[in-house]
Amino acid sequence: MLTAEDPVITEYYVNGKWDGVTWQLSKDWTCVFENERIYLKITIKAGFTTDGGSIPQLFQNVITPLGIYLLAFLVHDALYASEAVSRAEADWILLELLQALGAGWWRRNEIWSAVRIGGGFVWKQHTTESIAAARQLVITEYRKKGATA
């Protein structure tokens, strides 16, 4: 089950300029995702910034950063920024959201593989301050279902 309205985003300006890739939520947005493995309710407050999917320009004609998978990219960005879950878990949630959004096996694993390869660079840039700031904008209710190892 996946429940969410389309997020409302606008360009994010710094010193009166838009960099062409950074977007900001214009109003609070909530997504609820539940399957046989997890329950996730995430509320991302207005002001949170994202680049949608971190898709290299060369591939944006195949996968757009703000297209059909924006919901999955936005949740993933919020989980990463706030470190609400481990990096591996955030990436796995991305994979499962992509499936819920109708991405075929090849496409979702292509995106997931790229995130597993490149996401560590983003994760390592986090600071105590950046995580604290993100946690002011990201509220998560998360639990795994079933037996734990």
Q: Can you tell me the distance from the alpha carbon of 69 to that of 65, in angstroms, rounded to the nearest whole number?
A: 8
User: pTM (2 decimals)?
Assistant: 0.90
Q: Can you tell me the distance from the alpha carbon of 13 to that of 11, in angstroms, rounded to the nearest whole number?
A: 6
Mean pLDDT of 94-101: 95
Amino acid at 45: K
Closest CA to 62 of 111, 122, 112: 111
Distance set, CA 10 to CA 80, 88, 114, 133 (Å)? 21, 29, 26, 20
Share of the chain above pLDDT 70, in %: 90
Share of the chain above pLDDT 90, in %: 68
Structure tokens at 124: 């390592």
Amino acid at 47: G
105-119 residue pLDDT tens: 998 998 898 889 888
Name the average pLDDT for the chain: 89
The DSSP letter of residue 7 is P
Q: Can you tell me the distance from the alpha carbon of 59 to that of 69, in angstroms, rounded to the nearest whole number?
A: 14
121-149 residue pLDDT tens: 889 999 999 999 999 999 999 999 875 55
Question: Which pLDDT band holds residue 59 (cuts at 50, 70, 90)?
Answer: low
Amino acid at 128: T
